[in-house]
Amino acid sequence: MNIYDTKQIKCYRCGKFIGEVDCDVEIICPKCGPCADPFPSDEIITKS
């Protein structure tokens, strides 16, 4: 395998570059770290 056997993976929500995988791999809905976080720090739900 050489460097031409890979493709770039981008987050499907924000478009941020995540990494590279083999060309024959199929990834459905890849997410970067901030998009995959179920409780983002700026949207913390507080109970009142």
**What is the DSSP code string of the chain?**
--GGGEEEEE-TTT--EEEEEETT---SS---HHHH-SS-GGG-----
pTM confidence score: 0.64
% of residues, the chain, pLDDT over 90: 52
pLDDT at 39: 76
C-alpha–C-alpha distance, residues 35 and 21, integer Å: 20
Name the band, by pLDDT with cuts 50, 70 and 90, for residue 9.
very high
Average pLDDT, the chain: 83
Whether the per-residue pLDDT at 36 is higher than 80: the answer is yes
**Which helix (H) or strand (E) is 7 found in, with range?**
strand 6-10
